[in-house]
Structure 1
């Protein structure tokens, strides 16, 4: 990827040797340069996406290579599967090789960096030469492997010098970290979730700690399992750290001499730790093992047991079945029903498996009896209660979904003058708290109702710039998705929920809001669809409306785009990835079976929703 483009002045680059491990033996894969038997060397074009069993190795600099070829070879080496970038270091002087820290950052460009000889670059007959690397930034990965969308121009200088003894050109000054184009980044890196526990929230149903996903990127073919374990032990990323905890004692690391981790034939992974973990209790050890098990299953779903060891003895062993008794995770929660508001503005439900044969029934109680018309609703995650906003958007009600009774008085009322200036759709977290925004221009507020009632608590949002259109809180109660309007545009922002109970009155705030859809100018609908993934319906400037998956860090999964929809009113997804998607549009209630297009159901619906 670093070699996608070279400003139209591409030099013949060093070769990339590609090795594919298959049953029939080792083969050379077309698409990367390979070692030719005859003829001239050929240019390496943009590297296509390849299967995970493919390894790409860079070639070292050839003797008497000119400056342009040295720069090009170095950029190619950055995209290889060399674990410690040892081949890339061969393009550097000894001093530069010692100082260069490739793990500190990765800059992702729309295309590979162009390299252009600098104005003061000198001549090849001299002993120094300068190139400028340019491109358009797409994203950056920091030293913690955390992804952030980026924009703007990239411009960095590479300086080369000629060794006085060998007369070989080498790079002696270069930007920190690694730079590559988007296509090679997608080939080299994969997004995975590592897990920690929410510091101030527990499950409303079980009282267990809530597992929180912390998405990071690891190099896909450079022992990702060991990378993942080390990353979990290193602790959460800076953005998430204020609201989560790790059960690993400070200073815990892999035992000395452990360089690679591999599951055995029983899908059990043994993780030897240093002495920092030697004296932990059994309950704490189970939490540590659960963190690793959840994390590694996002990388290798077949891993179903973690054994932790320290000082030559077993600390604990945790299976996939037992992990559910240690902590609760949104993706492991299976909704019994899909809910929707029918043509009579009542709350209706049917089996969450969907299908044309599914039978819909009204929900017990006042939300389903038709006595009050509702515009939008949210069902609590235990499916025992729900919150509904009246048709005019003024009043919020909370009541049972399992027993009949009166609706009672509203728990919240908006004074907004129009429907669009009143209450948004509410949203429940896994702790049983209810979130909603009042869009009244005279008093716009983000509000929290603990356990769905009591005096509404105003949530501080110091970084909010615009008016909230939609609120969707994650099951873990730690992250919140806000669709925010400003200047006729709508953007999806992800914020960190911080709770402080140290004062006379508890305070809740949403901190460090960051964009998850920087390319969209309109966001129609959004919902969580996994521990770190959302489904978003929106459009880019001048584009058409489409539904797509996005990660909460702003990255796009490989299976990002979904089949097209038109005039979407709502979309429903579950954190459980096995549950189908539902949507409402001008065509009615739709569902999306795996691997096919949207199908229309017989039911009439204005809003579809899963619990949450």
Structure 2
């Protein structure tokens, strides 16, 4: 008996096609018929808990074979998929590459298997996210589903086996969360003293090896032109692993391509490796080149996740207040604004500019004591500004023509190319505190999206263009404003699920979106570092902050709260 190869169909135009492995839950049970089999009980470091894998029962039905394969595949990181391959025909065992990607599905509803067709079993999965072969995480939009169709054949002994399948695996969200780890890779920012993260997800087992390999391969295309790495092109691991000794020392043996690197670059390489290998069980990093210990350079002094400080500013009755704790005071370096309809405040620390919008069409430099406000940019329906670490002030027309505007107080006004924004309506933008990335909320034919892009600068640090976008927060239904909560997490004001009004959502650059408690009338937000430094302003002028699981009032009569940035 023969059958066509297994097929996968994705709904909602989900492009990637995956093989399916799942921990069967609810009404879908792990097979209970057949002999007792020995499971893989390997114990890894804390967090690496694998389900048991069972060999195929004799004379199992096609449905039982598919169920067993899915359960065994969920345990695959613990046994290198040895048991899962027992459910496949001989050619499929050889050709299947489970490491090519992961699709993560929800267990909120029970799975149902359809075996109404001869030699075929199908199942639909509610999707949470996908992970590519290099660990790049992409959240799935609401109601996304993946259909999997398994075709089976009987072997010479009359036993059903899966005849073909695509590369990759599918895991339930609880299993994924227990066997994968979010791991930031660190690259060098627009100034040589700051590190920029790109978060990937790797298996808990051998995370160090996966992470260093990915670091040496370099950043993803969306970030590549905005950062650099100290590792020379072609650098690889001389040995295909990063062993961790009993004393917690991770040994990174690099290929001979590193031998020509100078002392400064070696210090930067060591710093990148040390940050990436801040993992459980690792206390030190030893670097060698083709088996010979690298001469230890003087440590490079690099900043990671620059602090925005603890002071937030806001507007009240035409003046700028600042808040450090619960007691607001007037900002000593800013005079009364003396402009019509002031809103959209942004500012920089350490003597940098304080700027805002006056009406819809004018970007204004706030006046110093004894001075007057000064128009910096005029244009139709400008986006509320953001100030980057080099004191470039970013704005641009909401109706984008594929570019943004950046200006320095006593410098030029430059157009920043952003081709993917052409024809979109920009609602909010915020440059990251490392200056290498920008988060943008915009609306277009594909609806409202939250995207992160790299900022490409010239040798003087002047912004030139944005890279391609990376979508985040795909679970959001609407979004109006974005801010950076830390180096790899955004705070986004919007809606998701069944909520009727906006609230703050925590949106990782690579991870699942999480809503915070609901807020009545939320219209703007400010984010310092971490959830304890979140402020939300309501349409009634009330400023709220998060205390535990509740929003509490801080001050009234204010608008446009902002931390530096």
Task: Give the direction of change, closer, same or farther, for the CA distance of 1:542–1:70 in structure 2 (3 Å limit).
Answer: closer
Tell me which of 295, 309, 315 is aligned to 2:294. Answer: 315
Of structures 1 and 2, the one scoring higher in RCO (CA 8 A, sep 6+) is 2
SS at match of 1:556: coil
Provide the rounded CA distance (Å) in 2 between the counterparts of 1:13 and 1:231.
43
What's the counterpart of residue 109 of structure 1? 105
Provide the rounded CA distance (Å) in 1 between the counterparts of 2:177 and 2:33.
22
Structure 1, unmatched stretches of 5+, are: 27-50, 122-128, 203-207, 417-421
Q: In 2, are the aligned partners of 1:144 and 1:237 still within 8 Å (CA)?
A: no
What's the counterpart of residue 319 of structure 2? 346
Q: In 2, are the aligned partners of 1:12 and 1:69 still within 8 Å (CA)?
A: no
Alignment of 1:574-593 (within 5 A): 574=528, 576-577=529-530, 580-585=533-538, 586=540, 588-593=542-547
Q: Deviations over 1:254-291 (max 9, x none)?
A: 332646335735xx543232333334222111211222
Please report how far the alpha carbon of residue 410 of structure 1 lies from its aligned counterpart in structure 2 after TM superposition. 0.9
Q: Deviations over 1:59-100 (max 9, x none)?
A: 233444333222212111222242632222222233212211
Q: In 1, are the aligned partners of 2:473 and 2:508 still within 8 Å (CA)?
A: no
SS at match of 2:318: coil
Q: TM-score, normalised by structure 1?
A: 0.77
SS at match of 2:396: strand
Q: In 1, are the aligned partners of 2:315 and 2:343 still within 8 Å (CA)?
A: no
Q: In 1, are the aligned partners of 2:40 and 2:78 still within 8 Å (CA)?
A: no
Q: In 2, are the aligned partners of 1:134 and 1:155 still within 8 Å (CA)?
A: yes
Q: In 1, are the aligned partners of 2:402 and 2:419 still within 8 Å (CA)?
A: no
Tell me which of 323, 346, 351 is aligned to 1:378. Answer: 346
Alignment of 1:515-594 (within 5 A): 515-540=471-496, 542-544=498-500, 545-553=502-510, 555-556=511-512, 560-574=514-528, 576-577=529-530, 580-585=533-538, 586=540, 588-593=542-547
What's the counterpart of residue 140 of structure 1? 130
Q: Deviations over 1:197-226 (max 9, x none)?
A: 24xx22xxxxx3442211211123x23233
Task: Give the direction of change, closer, same or farther, for the CA distance of 1:192–1:507 in structure 2 (3 Å limit).
Answer: closer
SS at match of 1:56: coil
Task: Give the direction of change, closer, same or farther, for the CA distance of 1:405–1:587 in structure 2 (3 Å limit).
Answer: closer
Q: Deviations over 1:162-220 (max 9, x none)?
A: 332x544332211221123334333332322111124xx22xxxxx3442211211123
* Residues 11-20 or 285-294, more deviating: 11-20
Please report how far the alpha carbon of residue 317 of structure 1 lies from its aligned counterpart in structure 2 after TM superposition. 4.8
Q: In 2, are the aligned partners of 1:140 and 1:148 still within 8 Å (CA)?
A: yes
Provide the rounded CA distance (Å) in 1 between the counterparts of 2:151 and 2:366.
69
Provide the rounded CA distance (Å) in 2 between the counterparts of 1:514 and 1:273.
31
Task: Give the direction of change, closer, same or farther, for the CA distance of 1:156–1:492 in structure 2 (3 Å limit).
Answer: same
* Residues 52-61 or 473-482, more deviating: 52-61
Asked if 1:173 corresponds to 2:164, the answer is yes
What's the counterpart of residue 92 of structure 1? 88
Q: Deviations over 1:209-258 (max 9, x none)?
A: 442211211123x2323322222223222332343322222333333264
Tell me which of 255, 258, 269 is aligned to 1:274. Answer: 255
Please report how far the alpha carbon of residue 450 of structure 1 lies from its aligned counterpart in structure 2 after TM superposition. 4.5
Task: Give the direction of change, closer, same or farther, for the CA distance of 1:541–1:577 in structure 2 (3 Å limit).
Answer: closer
SS at match of 2:294: strand
Provide the rounded CA distance (Å) in 1 between the counterparts of 2:471 and 2:246.
37
Q: In 1, are the aligned partners of 2:24 and 2:71 still within 8 Å (CA)?
A: no
Q: In 2, are the aligned partners of 1:106 and 1:140 still within 8 Å (CA)?
A: yes
Q: Deviations over 1:399-455 (max 9, x none)?
A: 68xx745235311123x4xxxxx222211223332211223x6x8675332444534
Tell me which of 493, 508, 512 is aligned to 2:451. Answer: 493
* Residues 584-593 or 94-103, more deviating: 584-593
What's the counterpart of residue 40 of structure 1? none
Q: How many aligned residue pairs are there?
A: 533
Q: Deviations over 1:562-602 (max 9, x none)?
A: 2332212222223x448622222247222234x45333224
Provide the rounded CA distance (Å) in 2 between the counterparts of 1:428 and 1:211.
19
Provide the rounded CA distance (Å) in 2 between the counterparts of 1:518 and 1:17.
38
Provide the rounded CA distance (Å) in 1 between the counterparts of 2:556 and 2:284.
43
What's the counterpart of residue 157 of structure 1? 149
Asked if 1:261 corresponds to 2:217, the answer is no
What's the counterpart of residue 44 of structure 1? none
SS at match of 1:239: helix
What's the counterpart of residue 463 of structure 1? 420
Please report how far the alpha carbon of residue 500 of structure 1 lies from its aligned counterpart in structure 2 after TM superposition. 6.4
Provide the rounded CA distance (Å) in 2 between the counterparts of 1:384 and 1:260.
47
**How much is the aligned-residue C-alpha RMSD, in angstroms?**
3.6
What's the counterpart of residue 513 of structure 1? 469
Structure 2, unmatched stretches of 5+, are: 1-20
Q: In 2, are the aligned partners of 1:483 and 1:493 still within 8 Å (CA)?
A: yes
Asked if 1:58 corresponds to 2:53, the answer is yes
Provide the rounded CA distance (Å) in 2 between the counterparts of 1:395 and 1:259.
55
SS at match of 2:134: coil
SS at match of 1:60: coil
